[in-house]
Structure 1
């Protein structure tokens, strides 16, 4: 029922698309889907050999089933080197690599990438923002760029 993220992904070809890995139910709802925690994966669109895994809450119930509920501003991220790292094009610090709406209009969850040149490490930050007021809740993960099966 989440057509808005698909539409945004189609309009933003430089952003990654998430693949659902699994989910667990956290709160039973009599009507509509249960509240749950969803685990998704996406590949960095500009850095070959990097996959990120997100876990985040999804609101259920009638509003959640219709795509009208606002999901909580909490997420966890773990990015890993899954192959030889190759930069497909130049990257910029703070560049958005993944974004998905977490409410009908005003709130989104996004992942941005930084490059720590001194340590030769990619750093990914997930956070939630809102048009008027964002959330300080965030999570970070880092990947040292290492040789891969040469």
Structure 2
């Protein structure tokens, strides 16, 4: 019981990752509180210059969404693109997390991890949602071919 409480307290201090909100659309009208929405966010890969990812995800509205206790669905989509010359700023591990954001008060997050397909010279980004107890099979990928002569 103490272990579960310790884990609960530790996860309550996790802050959402910084992402730039690009826009949103309402999907369900709520009489009280904000509407349910699909939010589009952008983030740059922290270890690979020249790659930007756009993430769309569902957010719950209503009173519980307004006060931050609603649990968002596991639905998400990702599109990553080369936006400039690609430069590896530092080495990275396969499956390394490049983005994480809470989708419920304590237990659920949406994450993006990165892989490198060396044979094909392609970066692969996988978005998925997880819970402290069990994950979700809902996922999406985006690939970024590393173009050697960007802009020429």
Gaps of 5+ in 1: 10-15
Q: Which residue of 1 aligns with 2:112?
A: 111
**CA separation in 2, counterparts of 1:135 and 1:7?**
20
TM-score, normalised by the number of residues in structure 1: 0.90
Q: Which residue of 1 aligns with 2:137?
A: 136
What is the deviation of 1:129? 0.3
Cα deviation code 1:71-116 (max 9, x no counterpart): 0001000000000000110011000000001000000000000000
Q: Which residue of 2 aligns with 1:27?
A: 28
Q: Which residue of 2 aligns with 1:8?
A: 15
What is the deviation of 1:7? 5.9
TM-score, normalised by the number of residues in structure 2: 0.88
Cα deviation code 1:45-65 (max 9, x no counterpart): 000000000000000000000
Gaps of 5+ in 2: 1-10
Q: Which residue of 2 aligns with 1:64?
A: 65
Q: How many residues align?
A: 141
Q: Which residue of 2 aligns with 1:12?
A: none
| Partner SS state of residue 109, structure 1 | strand
Structure 1 stretches of 4+ with a deviation exceeding 6 A read none
**CA separation in 2, counterparts of 1:99 and 1:37?**
17
| Partner SS state of residue 118, structure 1 | coil
* C-alpha RMSD over aligned residues: 1.8
